[in-house]
A and B are shown apart, each in its own frame.
Chain A
């Protein structure tokens, strides 16, 4: 077991606190370590891989990834929450840092060039809710915690955009890790993505109280 990155500096009034979903992500990435390292072992022709995390929050997943899974990579991350953007950079630095980690403040991956990403890490706002917060109201209130959690209809409003744009953003050898809860209907999503030519695999799941969380791998 690799240790969980230190997040003692994080202000959880402003940034999503690492919870069971985050820890499931870390545990399952650890099981994916040899798959990932093998897939990206040769950087000489295709270049060094780019790892993108959407919705960085505290930055714990990216930090874990650069410390233990794939140190030789270019790391990019996004968040709409300005506090999360700063915090994620601090978390990386507080845990020995990496050569290359930049954060974009944006909605999902707006502003990123197409065909850029080799590894996508996404612990989405997956909780079903009547409505999805808008970032403009979060900007006014400076309250971001609901935004990190609530995913609109079926909890899929943000994840659906990501899946629909995956083809444009990922490079040919790209692999995406996305977390779902049971009410997101991941089996249906897996079937739809398989029909669209993706190779889809559930890499693990965990029952947490009344919820079943699973992480799925989408690769070309």
Chain B
């Protein structure tokens, strides 16, 4: 095993796993929310066409644009049509953006496009790929980060710099990008069908910037992120954050259409201070087929990333266990759904910890067994 990875993963496990256990023990209502959320998400998957239609109607009602993308190319074409020749783009951390290869495609067209989550920014300037769903730079030690920043951003930062100074340096750089951005592109933790709202959980504050400062906000996510109601969407945010070890989350953002005001005679006028345009792009990319298959429960995943730290294969192989950004136990399922890649499932030892800790009670070991069957059957 790579020494640097061994150090990084062990630190991450020690820092995260007991914290999540304590959060859930001290806040038992979160497991109740998770159980309820599972039922709601199952209902959506079982009636996906109805919920997509309802989401579309809700987004249009709120003054936003709604788009359904069959696959990655379709999604990127929709983005191109929305943004036209606008060049300055900021991104929030999103696995779906990686999935459709948005950043590399738009960058190759000469656009100035930046990840604004600190971990994703580090991955971007290191020409790397994320190693964890919610902690993309988990494979980088502090010393390595210092070296990367020195080479790519700020000569005053090096391996011996304080973490606070590293964060400050990135903040200074990104602040200029937020202010110059024409377009902010985010993912979504949940999308509520009844209100057409996008919910985003974060701690850094970058998503607030991405969704408010640019004139156009585009949220791109999978159809699996739809939940029936805004209440369910908030519940998903809480369950996701707690199982990721961030409770309470620093920020939960809600975007329901473009910015608006009713301050003059209570007449709703849009735009106000924030974006003048809001667009939701729901991506299929194999998800509809998966809903009809024996992989269906995979789509219940809320991307908390807890399963990674209970998995011996992830400890050993890191981001090679899966197809980035979909790594770890949940990534084996998502690599199968999105990329039709089954081979990495053979690295799974069926240790079973992933299924134990999954807040959505996805039977991950049994699903991986079925993916193994696809590989060798």
Is B a genuine binding partner of A? no
